[in-house]
Amino acid sequence: GGDCVTGPATVVEALAAGRKAADGIDHYLRTGKIENHKLQEFNSSRGDLEDIPDEVFEVYEKKKRVKVKTLEPATRVKNFDEIEKTIDENSALEEASRCLECGCIEGFSCKLRDISTEYGATDEFRGEKNICTHYLKIQEDRPPILRDENKCIKCGICVRTCDEIWGIGVYSFIQRGFDTRIVPALDTELHESECDFCGQCADACPTGALSINPEMPKPGPFKLEKIKTNCLFCPLHCELYLNIYANRLIRVTALPPEGENEGCLCVRGRFGYNLIFGKTYPIYEHSNNGKKELDISEAIEKTTQLLQNAANPLILTSTNLSSEEYDGIYKLSGALNNCDVFHVSHDLFARNSCTHPVFGKSSRLRENLEGIQALKLSEITNHNSIVVFGIYPGRDYPVMEMKIRNAVKKGANLFIINNDSLRIEPYAKLSLRLQKKDYSLFWELLADLLHSFQEDKYKIEHYKEILGKIVKIAKVKPALIIKFIEAISRGRTCFITAEDEINWSSMKAFTDTVTMLKEKSSILILAKGANPNGALDFMTEHPVYETLEEIPLNEHDTIMLFNLPIELKKYSGNLIDISPFPLNRNSSYHIFIPYTSLYQTGGKYLKYDKNATKISKTMENEYPFDNLRVINEISRKLSNTKV
């Protein structure tokens, strides 16, 4: 190696040659085989700095280089000391921040680069250079998905992925020949199109033309560690990969066709984790005397005293806890003389929701649901008809919406019964727009009509009377209702609903109707949160309230919120808030303890089908404590006080 091979060169090149020789010798001694030289990686460049138009850099502030302190000339001539001094830490960081990191974000994951390296491609036949300044101006706005048309090879994979897999069709080809471009409709930006930012196009793109914004001060590229796990923003638990660098989440990706989600993610699974990772908050108490920071031991001690002195405590949790945490919560409730525990269906993305449903209706319907087959996502395409009732798939469960759309493309009949429009309505054979107050009556009448239909219309007058009432509520022609009845009676039908979107009487009437068709039917009842079925497992009593707003909160002198970051504007008592982030509170006294991330602690979560998803610890905990330790320590102190 060294100069013997390359000729006279730099010391750095000689050291690199020595390392290659050492690797080769080590490989031969271990395997007895001579290692082939590694392929030279294919690289491309925008060109020299002089070749790039000045307007590319207009979006950046020009900063002068940090001046290195030097010895004065009068001092230099008197000794042989080093002329340049070292710079301090702040100056070094400031100088490093001047670098724009112009490299491609997909430098370590570019499929085109990998193929070019494998086949030894060269840039001998380079086309016309096109510097798109618009891209860098978009980058300044920090959108979720970055588009760089300079790197687009017009393969059309993003067009087909968005249209054929996700079913929206945001991208299309415009112009012809060498001027062909792939852009959203009307050549607009993604945020102005129908794009719901699922990120499938960026995963599918073989170059850096479409990429996920890393949400970092610098764009990278980063050599990422991929850790396979599951999404916990809803009970579908889609398979995904956390891409981590130095214990920081850079991006979330998926790999088709893995998992029931077939490598697809929604905007929550793709970008939602930016709400969880990267920010830490202090523990504090807030009273009339102001805000005071605490350590975890002080917070646990003050929380224990608050609960111990409470005359009528209440525990409110979200449906996002692990099963271990639910177990701990119910033990804590036992230490508080079995105080009330309510689970609130909660979506971290719907902070401004007017109502917050109390979860647990399905626990009262277990007898109704006996004998009805539970529906799995992978089996939706095996049904002749799909009935979507009172649920918003595109908003709350986009991956399931994709499954429904694919089933319709394969020949299934889609029927929608809802109070608002859905994105999948164009695929439906029948869409009934009902008021929520009519849900219960509709299903009761439909059950009566089904009974008449199955009895071969034993009383034609009664049949017509019931049909007329349904038509009056649904405001559609009788023929459409008859076709609906025929479809769900004669073929395999799956019923999909959400218990936190409809009231108890409507859910009861709906399940009663489905029970009549249980021999050919299956049902899927969803609710918001990562682990509603886990909450159901530990529930000891049926909830007597349907929404959080119905609970007389001010009858409770102390309320403990667990992973439920919602504002209780009308509550003025004592509050213990263990949540991912603090909110402004109206309570006279409250303690805030940060809720540690599920991927930093791990735990068991039950999927929509009640199968367990085990989440392993994938990142280092940013706090010196975890949720389970806090719950168990409070329970222990309360139990010791009782004794």
Classify residue 376: in a domain, yes or no. Answer: yes
The boundaries of the domain holding residue 582 are 284-358+532-642
**Residue 135 pLDDT grade (very low, low, confident, very high; cuts 50, 70, 90):** very low
pLDDT of residue 202: 94
CATH, residue 173 = 3.30.70.20
Asked whether residue 519 falls in the same domain as residue 545, the answer is: no
In a domain, 83, yes or no: no
User: Residue 431 CB: number of other CB atoms within 10 A?
Assistant: 20
**C-alpha angle 292-346-323 in degrees, rounded to nearest 5:** 85
* Residue that terminates a domain, selected from 257, 275, 293: 275
What's residue 463's pLDDT? 79
Answer yes or no: are the C-beta atoms of 577 and 559 closer than 8 Å. Answer: no
pLDDT the model gives residue 396: 93
Whether residue 593 sits in one domain with residue 521: no
Does 106 map to a domain?
no
521 and 604 in a common domain = no
101 belongs to a structural domain: no
Count structural domains, the chain.
4
Q: What percent of the chain has pLDDT over 90?
A: 51
Range scoring the smallest mean pLDDT among 80-89, 491-500, 514-523: 80-89
Are 412 and 333 contained in the same domain?
A: no
User: What backbone torsions phi and psi does residue 230 show, to the nearest 5 degrees?
Assistant: -125, 150
Same-domain status, 243 and 164 = yes
Cβ-in-10-Å burial (0-12, 13-18, 19+) of 460 comes to exposed
* Pair (391, 510) in one structural domain: yes
Residue 466 included in any domain: no
Residue 308 has which token pair? 């111990």
Q: Is residue 4 part of a domain?
A: yes
Same domain? 143 vs 253: yes
CATH of the domain at 584: 3.40.50.740
DSSP assigned state of 17: H
542 and 627 housed in the same domain: yes
CB atoms within 10 A of CB 105: 24
Decide: helix, strand or coil at residue 277. Answer: coil
Which pLDDT score is estimated for 352? 53
- Compute the average pLDDT of residues 432-442: 95
Give the separation between CA 578 and CA 576, rounded to whole angstroms: 7
Query: Are 208 and 350 contained in the same domain?
Result: no
pLDDT for the residue 465 = 87
pTM, two decimals, is: 0.85
Query: What would the pLDDT profile of 211-239 be if each residue is shown by its tens digit?
Result: 998 877 777 888 999 999 999 999 999 99
Q: Can you give the pLDDT at residue 523?
A: 95
In this structure, are 426 and 536 located in the same domain? no
CATH for 505: 3.40.228.10
Residues 379 and 347 in one domain: no
Would you say 128 and 47 are in contact if contact means Cβ atoms under 8 Å apart?
no
- Name the nearest CA neighbour of 478 among 495, 503, 453: 453
Among 511, 526, 541, give the residue marking a domain's end: 526
Please provide residue 622's backbone torsions phi and psi, each rounded to the nearest 5 degrees: -80, -10
> Per the domain annotation, does 395 fall within a domain?
yes
| pLDDT per position as a tens digit, 69-104 | 888 888 888 888 888 888 889 888 888 888 877 778
Q: Kindly give the interhelix angle for 627-642 and 296-308, rounded to the nearest 10 degrees.
A: 50
17 and 157 co-located in one domain: no
Q: Look at residues 243, 275, 307 and tell me which one is the last residue of a structural domain.
A: 275
Residue 318 lies in a domain: yes
